[in-house]
Structure 1
Amino acid sequence: MKRFLPVLIALLSVCSSGYPQASPPADIGSIQQNLKKLNVLGSVLYIAAHPDDENTRLLGYLAQEKHYRTGYLSLTRGDGGQNLIGTEQGELLGLIRTQELLAARRLDGAEQFFSRANDFGFSKNPEETLKFWDKDKVLGDMVWVIRNFRPDVMICRFPTTGEGGHGNHTASAILAQEAFSAAADPKRYPQQLKYVSVWQAKRLLWNTFSFGSVNTTSPDQFKINVGGYNPLLGKSYGEIAAESRSNHKSQGFGSARQRGDAFEFFKTILGDAPKADLMDGVDVSWNRTPFGAPIAVQIEKITKAFNSDAPQASVPALVALLGDVNQTVATNKAFQTVRLTEGANTAYDYWHKQKTKELKELIAQCAGLWFEAYADEPAYALGDVIKIRAQIIKQSDAAVNFGGVSIVEGGIAGTNTPLAQNQLQTFNLTLKAEKLSQPYWLESPHGIGSYTINDDLKVGNPENPDAPAVIFLFNINGKPIEFDRTVQFKYVDPARGEIYQPLAIAPPVTANIAEHVYAFNNTQPQTVQVKLKSFTNASGSISLKPLADWQISPAKVDFDGKNKGDEWIVNFNVSPANTKTSTAVLQANITANGKTFAQGLLDIRYNHVPAITIFPPAEAKLVNIDLKTAGKKIGYIAGAGDLIPESLREIGYEVHLLTESEVINSNLAVYDAIITGVRAYNVNERLAYEQPKLMEYVKNGGNLLVQYNNNNGLVTRNIGPYPFTVVNQRVTEEDARVTFSDPSSPVLNYPNKITDADFNGWIQERGLYFVDNIDSRYNTPLQMNDTSMAPNKGALIVTNYGKGRFVYTSFAFFRELPAGVPGAYRLFVNLLSKPKN
């Protein structure tokens, strides 16, 4: 039985449809843009493989100029890319890139969707991509998004013929073609038809491009000028595109604003070819729906009568329009007949839901209504009660009565109390925390190619659709209207001002094992430090799961009387039981208040995206390696971000992060080796000035190891003592055969004898951005190749220079060492270890 109170105190988890958000912008430009959008019933879905693949200028034009419902379906979250701003890799990078995409969409006005496909790294062909992706499930995800979104036009970023370069790109186009037809076929994915209807888009286009030396446009292709200026926004679409794209900061895609004419070209892949307009043959007016013509007339009248000095004057007409839309759906017998004939998701039904949502927010904007909901604290433990403040203010003289706030949909008794103008009101609610705020695609372990998603109804969503939300009820001009707002945490940062961040619902106690990998090269024990944090008042114990061939002590450590926010450290001793090479997963188990958990805590913080808090498994990898080391002290020059220093410390090296002043002014001879981090010669412009000192270090007997760099944007091309060229070549098959062209090379023999076995178990790729045009004075001891490709010797070059040694490697050590790959450790140590003369 529901309890009906003006302010409802509820202890239920909410599953909210749609995407409840903070209050949207309510400036006059936004209101007028939304007014224009009310009278447009057309939709476009753009499809590509990764974050940053989308054409932001085209998306902005379609959403803000043409006012189509515009979406971008990125098949992956960009997990396999490189990270220019930090050390996050894999699914952690995917979390960052998801938020970068959402920030981009807030600027260009499009919506964001995803499939379950995982970006496993660069792929040279679609066959490799589709081998890793679960093709049937990813295709099903695309069909699900299409059937929900119902695009009139679908657009691919890439062709099926390979000009996009990346195998993921080509695969996205292949799947888009199949999804175009599959979405209209009731025999394909019939289980979806419980919730959606089949849908046939009018056409599928390829948005041709000119990237570098690849130009796929031609004068006979259909084209659109998307370089216009929007006076309501005060920007051209080239400016909007640059601001949108510049959110992809982890990929270094800051863009200059562009102004003036700009043409986008299109080639028809499936369906009717457009002749004069992208929507040729599609009625994007209200006439496409039964009984829609009178609604269009009303919208025209409201638009003409709109007064930018008094937007609240449009509220009565907008409310009447909303009432007419609802009345038509609920009571029109002819419409109900159409609905019974065509199914529950008719054109009118679909556009009714979409335009009702738009109308409600527009009414709130014009009425000057602002309302949001905040948790009192940033995080709560499962089972605890969340304290929520709901705030409301009416900043106009519109006739608005307050009906109540609630956690339970429909659980509000309307009080119908008039809202005073410009008077902030606060209401207190409570909600029981019943589900971890873990991203739905990370709730279960997953393989290389795709995420495991437990609830297929969540597919497509960029974030959890069931985040806790508060329902606000208003009576506006005599009509009750409900709104959703996600519960967030809000605070003030002294430097950045007011900050919103998602509410985190955590396990009662989390356990973070200090290192991702513990590497052993003997049977000596290492201290495994576990940092615990309590999100509630808790008592219990922490233990490490017993493992065969490993010794762990103590068996368990108790804790008692911990308060919310307490953090403490527990140490365990772990050692291999023997000297044989082996790996194992170390898992922490926490018993708190009678229940067992095994999650850690990970916070990702960057100013350009909201705070990201997840609860990964409380695990670490144990690696027992037959490893010999030489030398002790390492100097490290940071690049774009990697975890190599931490990995080296695990096997006993002393690693010092070198500053520019130390490189220029200190005695570098104290270092047994100096390493430059990944992409250091792309991101550290001072390396051009430090380079002579590094060459002097080598000449005087030092060992310099340079890790991979992108071929674009090098601060100097004179990276080594002799010439070579960084090129965009790579070996993406992590199990590609590696052959020894010079088995006697010291880097293959000292201090560890490298064999074929050392290349087993590598992840994601062998290497990237290999070198070419290699001076004859370099030795190339290894070569490898992807299937059907020619052998490539550019992953590792070595030369003696003066008394020292210079090494350049394009091997993906930045992935392999943090993953605990034994052979990668052995080879990397050899590269650091110059034999004594």
Structure 2
Amino acid sequence: MKRTLLFTLALFLVYQSLNAQTAPPSDIGTIQQNFKKLNVLGSVLYIAAHPDDENTRLLAYLAQEKHYRTGYLSLTRGDGGQNLIGNEQSELLGLIRTQELLAARRVDGAEQFFSRATDFGFSKNPEETLKFWDKDKILGDMVWVIRQFRPDVMICRFPTTGEGGHGNHTASAILAQEAFSAAADPKRYPEQLKNGVTPWQAKRLLWNTFNFGNTNTTSEDQFKLNVGGYNPILGESYGEIAAESRSNHKTQGFGSARQRGDAFEYFKTILGDAPKTDLMDGVTTTWARIPGGAPIGEELAAIRKSFNDDTPEASVPALVKLLDKVDMDFVNDKTMQTVRLKAGAVEEYTYWHKQKAKELKELIAACAGLWFESYAVEPSYAVGDSIRIRTQMMVRSDVAIKFSGYYYLDFSDADAIGGISMGGINRDATPIEKNTLKTVDNIIKAKGITQPYWLKQSHSIGSYNIDYLDNGLAEQKSLPENFPITANFAFTILDKTINLSRPVQFKYVDPARGEIYQPLEITPPVTATIAEKAYVYNSSVPQVVQVKLKSYTNASGNVSIKPIAGWKITGKADFAGKKKGDEWTANFTIAPTDNKSNTADLDVVVTANGKSFSQGLLSIKYNHIPAITIFPPAQAKLVNIDLKTAGKRIGYIAGAGDLIPDALREVGYQVHPLTEGEIINGDLSVYDAIVIGVRAYNVNQRLAYEQPKLMEYVKNGGNLVVQYNNNNGLVTKALGPYPFQVVNQRVTTEDSPVTILDKDSPVLNYPNKITLEDFKGWIQERSVYMVSNIDPQYKTPLQMGDPGEAQSNGSLIVADYGAGRFVYTSLVFFRELPAGVPGAYRLFVNLLSKPPKKEGVGYFK
């Protein structure tokens, strides 16, 4: 029993510290806000499908004005979205958008949660979404979050009737309605009740109606709130805070203007009692909701009333006494014994005790001027090595504080309480001198690799594969990040022992940006990163596969590639005496053993110090989020394609970020990124084709001025290939030599039937003969933002559409213009080529290859 209680305590400490900054703000404004929050016992959970779906103004209002515990449950991490600031896609984009959500929450004050659902791409209906997600799984995840978070009010962003457009949006509302009741039913997902949660019934479920685009779902007979107020403590209105929060969604191009003045949010009641005068009608949000808790609220109000901004430490004695009352042991307390027979009373007390005791302890530390942190002295450590952790603390007031002890928690590879590393217990409690930095260094062992928990296993199209009871860490599965290594401190303040925790991060000084905190990395001993994601062959000529190795410890061993049927692999590399930080490369020669088209997975294995690993290294760095480091499988794809190419030199105008230039280099093209000077003043005729990247006409303002030169290039005999653009925010509507219109029409099913309308079209014949076989094996979708109102000068060789919908010829249009050719395509080559889809390669190469003219007969037939 004692072992179980200790584990529960440890898990609670880690969970509570997860979203904490290394040293949380302790300015007077923050202290005043925390005083207000401490006296509010209410919670609201907002639910939608993706990062950026949330209403940041409403979240800011609920968290910073009403001081409710406010959470946002995003069912997905946004893996299927677009990326306007880089070329990361799929899981990598999901990692970035997760951090963008956390950056947004640090601004608006809400908390962040997820389910295991993936954003598999645009979905036209909820039935498709729920099938891909596996409805029961995702519903269970939502029930888990509700039972943990215990919201008094639930709010969904979208309705069940489809006005949200995206099938994921509608599905999130359908699931929210079912989860509202399922969370209260002990017969639904009973396995969760063995992991520290109890059934919970929220008071009401509301739909936050909206008015954007051409859709207005608000009406004056709906319940409404004015969320446009100004917070003088923060010095901002909630519209200003919301804009700052939303602008963190940089990958989606959601930079927002600050809004000021009255702003109303409207709500329609879906389930439960309808609110009449207040969102929390019928819910007690004061300390009176806890049996015997009313005096705590009264005492807290008195302490706040006497609080002096000039001497916050003067409030510490009263706050410490208040903590004694909040911190009472409910097992022995007579009041709790009395109410134990009341259903839910103990659970209610326990839940709010955890929340408010932590808030009160942090408030005491802030008022007392207590600052402390723990950080690693190096950015990364290999599994099994020793981590040197530096702990520093200081008291910046006259309050007498003693340092009583500390320990570290690391659940990265925990079994039972194996995650506890005792750092030191100071039984005599050492006084901390005022304004004197106290430093303690310690060593703990690096355990599990810091791989995001949802990426530890391969996953399906619709959901991540997360072990529900992953080493007992059930709480982790709905959180945005792994549990960090956590430093837990014990301080004695006015004879009261107070436990506080901080995540252990790496701290360094950047010459341009100053002091920076980044997540601590626990790594494999040696990583093996394959230079390319896919190696594409169109002959039996061998290619060199370069493996980039990096050692994170002193290591000796070897690196090899697993044998692959149908492929000849030459090379094996031994290494010895490598030291931490060493980097080197190993080269292997690989060639297909026959001329048959096939694909295969390439796996690299590193044996270091007697143990085998097969993980690469990938780092993502943007200034608006912490650095992201993951260790993906050391794998690549080998693709042998029956591929003919024509021409060599390709000019490329970058768009919103894609990997097509690298994919073209893989099959022998020379790809040159074009600058504005080269477009305006250079000789473009040297390029066999010029390709314009995805959404370039949305993000590159200069293209409006470069467009005449590009049309001149076509007219003089060039071949211009333009990839898809969003229909909103085009820098020019004249994308081609003749009119057409970009529209929000998609073919989202990757295996939707394709009809060849013009089998003699040059783009389907030269240099590769394109058949329906070439449209097999595509991933995620076929076409996005297709075109309509197409001028007759364009040829439309393909037709496609999702099952049950009208067919469209707007995925690929081709026109002769002067002596050249213009191509516009909304086919998702930016996804297919990096994935090594053979047919997509063959068709894209055809788009790059303008057939030579034959005397008297025009283009190749």
Tell me, in whole angstroms, the C-alpha distance in 1 between the residues paired with 2:660 and 2:280: 52
Tell me what 1:8 maps to: none
- Are 1:98 and 1:462, in contact at CA under 8 Å, matched by a contact in 2? no
User: Which residue of 2 is the match for residue 226 of structure 1?
Assistant: 227
One of 535, 552, 555 as aligned partner of 2:569? 552
Secondary structure of 2:664's aligned partner? helix
Mapped to 2, the partners of 1:455 and 1:368 lie a distance apart of: 41
The 1:507/1:312 distance shift into structure 2, 3 A limit, reads same
- 2:442 aligned with 1:442, yes or no? no
Q: Does 1:677 align with 2:678?
A: no
Map of 2:611 onto structure 1? 595
SS at match of 2:254: coil
- Give the structure 2 partner of residue 7 of structure 1: none
1:138-149 residue pairs with structure 2 within 5 A?
A: 138-149=138-149
Once residues 149 and 28 of structure 1 are traced to their aligned partners in structure 2, the CA distance between those partners, rounded to angstroms, is 29
Alpha-carbon RMSD across the aligned residues, in angstroms, is 1.5
1:146 and 1:712 map into 2 onto residues whose CA distance is 37
* Displacement after TM superposition at 1:413 (Å): 3.5
In 1, distance between residues paired with 2:496 and 2:216? 56
For 1:755, the equivalent position in structure 2 comes to 771
Match of 2:710 in 1: 694
2:193 aligned partner: 193
Instruction: Give the alignment partner of residue 658 of structure 1, picking from 671, 674, 699.
Output: 674
* Partner SS, residue 41 of structure 1: coil
CA offsets 1:297-324 (integer angstroms, 9 cap, x no match): 1111111011111111111111111111
Q: Which residue of 1 aligns with 2:69?
A: 69
Segment drifting more, 225-234 vs 334-343: 334-343
* Residue identity matched to 1:267: K
Secondary structure class of the residue paired with 2:508: strand
Quote the residue 1:9 is aligned against. Answer: none
The TM-score, its normalising length taken from structure 2, stands at 0.94
- Tell me how far apart the structure 1 counterparts of residues 482 and 101 of structure 2 sit (CA, whole Å): 17
> Aligned-pair distance for 1:573?
0.4
1:420 positional shift: 1.1
Q: Deviations over 1:40-61 (max 9, x none)?
A: 1100000000000000000000
Distance in 1 of aligned mates of 2:315 and 2:383 = 45
2:168 pairs with 1:151: no
Q: 1:510 to 1:103 in 2, by over 3 A?
A: same
Q: Structure 1 vs Structure 2: percent identity of aligned residues?
A: 71
**What amino acid is the match of 1:132?**
F
- The answer to whether the aligner puts 1:16 opposite 2:33 as a matched pair is no
Which residue does 1:433 correspond to in 2? 446
Deviation for aligned residue 1:326: 1.4
| Paired position in structure 2 for 1:5 | none
Provide the rounded CA distance (Å) in 1 between the counterparts of 2:476 and 2:25. 28
Q: What SS does structure 2 have at the residue aligned with 1:491? A: strand
Partner of 2:205 in structure 1? Answer: 204
1:57 aligns with: 57
> SS state of the match for residue 105, structure 2?
helix
Q: Deviations over 1:118-170 (max 9, x none)?
A: 11111010011111102111111100000000000000000000000000000
Runs of 4+ deviating beyond 6 Å: 12-15
* Stretch deviating more after TM superposition (344-353 or 215-224): 344-353
Q: Do the aligned residues in 1 keep the contact of 2:453 with 2:482 (CA within 8 Å)?
A: no
Inter-partner Cα distance in structure 2 for 1:465 and 1:19? 12
Indicate if the aligned counterparts of 1:736 and 1:785 stay in contact, CA closer than 8 A.
yes
Cα distance per residue 1:664-701 (max 9 Å; x no partner):
11110010000001111111111111111000000000
2:483 is matched by which residue type in structure 1? D
| Counterparts of 2:399 and 2:50, CA distance in 1 | 45
- Relative distance call for 1:232 and 1:437 in structure 2 (3 A) is same
Deviation at 1:14, TM superposition (A): 12
Deviation, 1:18, is 2.2
Structure 2 unaligned spans of 5+: 3-9, 409-419, 854-861
SS in structure 1 of the partner of residue 443 of structure 2: strand
- How many angstroms does 1:15 deviate by? 8.2
**Partner AA of 1:358 in structure 2:** E
1:202-601 aligned within 5 A? 202-327=203-328, 329-339=330-340, 342=343, 346-407=347-408, 408=420, 412-456=425-469, 457-554=474-571, 556-601=572-617
* Distance (Å, rounded) in 1 between the aligned partners of 2:584 and 2:311: 57
Partner of 2:83: 83
TM-superposed CA distance for 1:455, in Å, is: 4.1
CA distance in 2 between partners of 1:14 and 1:590 (Å): 37
Q: Is the 8 A contact 1:519 1:650 kept in 2?
A: yes
Q: Secondary structure at the match of 2:16?
A: coil
Letter paired with 2:352: W
Match of 2:164 in 1: 164
SS in structure 1 of the partner of residue 112 of structure 2:
strand
Q: Distance in 1 between matches of 2:475 and 2:456?
A: 12
Q: Secondary structure at the match of 2:302?
A: helix
1:494 to partner: Cα distance: 1.2
Q: CA deviation at 1:341?
A: 5.2
Whether the aligned pair in 1 keeps the contact of 2:646 and 2:849 (CA below 8 Å) is yes
Separation in structure 2 between the aligned mates of residue 206 and residue 61 of structure 1, nearest angstrom: 17
User: 1:419-443, CA deviations, whole angstroms, 9 ceiling, x for partnerless residues?
Assistant: 1111111110111001001111011
Matched length: 826
User: What amino acid is the match of 1:60?
Assistant: A
1:680 maps to a residue whose letter is A
Give TM-score, length-normalised by structure 1: 0.97
Contact 1:141 1:459 (C-alpha < 8 Å) held by counterparts: no
Question: 5+ residue gaps in structure 1?
Answer: 3-11
Q: 1:294 offset after TM fit, Å?
A: 1.0
What CA distance in whole angstroms lies between the structure 2 residues aligned with 1:409 and 1:327?
28
Structure 1 residue 787: deviation in Å? 1.6
Contact 2:521 2:629 in 1 (8 A): yes
Alpha-carbon offset, residue 484 of structure 1: 1.1
**Aligned counterpart for 2:721 among listed residues 705, 726, 730:** 705
Post-superposition shift, 1:414?
A: 3.5
Identify the residue that residue 639 of structure 2 maps to in structure 1. 623
The question of whether the paired residues in 1 share the 8 Å contact of 2:15 and 2:475 is answered with: no
Aligned partner of 2:684 among 668, 672, 675:
668
- SS of equivalent to 1:128: helix
Deviations 1:363-409 (A, max 9, x none): 11111111111101000000000000011011111221111232247
1:278-313 CA distance string (max 9 Å, x none)? 001111111111111111111111110111111111
Amino acid at match of 2:668: G
Contact kept? 2:336, 2:346, Cα under 8 Å: no
Residue 17 to residue 459, structure 1, CA distance change in 2 (3 Å): closer
Q: Is the 8 A contact 2:779 2:832 kept in 1?
A: yes
Counterpart contact for 1:527–1:571, Cα < 8 Å: yes
Is the contact made by 1:14 and 1:469 (CA closer than 8 Å) also made in structure 2?
no
Q: Is the CA contact (8 Å cut-off) linking 2:468 and 2:477 kept in structure 1?
A: no
Distance 1:413 1:344 in 2: 37
Partner of 2:750: 734
Question: SS of the residue aligned with 2:184?
Answer: coil
* CA drift at 1:492: 1.0
Say which SS state the counterpart of residue 179 (structure 2) adopts.
helix
Counterpart secondary structure, 1:16: helix
The match for 1:121 is 121
CA distance in 1, matches of 2:12, 2:601: 36
Q: 1:598 to 1:484 in 2, by over 3 A?
A: same
Once residues 58 and 615 of structure 1 are traced to their aligned partners in structure 2, the CA distance between those partners, rounded to angstroms, is 37
The C-alpha deviation readout for 1:225-255, integer Å capped at 9, x for no partner, is: 0000000000000000000000000100000
Equivalent-residue separation in structure 2 for 1:713 and 1:397 (angstroms)? 58
Measured in 1, the distance between the counterparts of 2:437 and 2:331 equals: 35
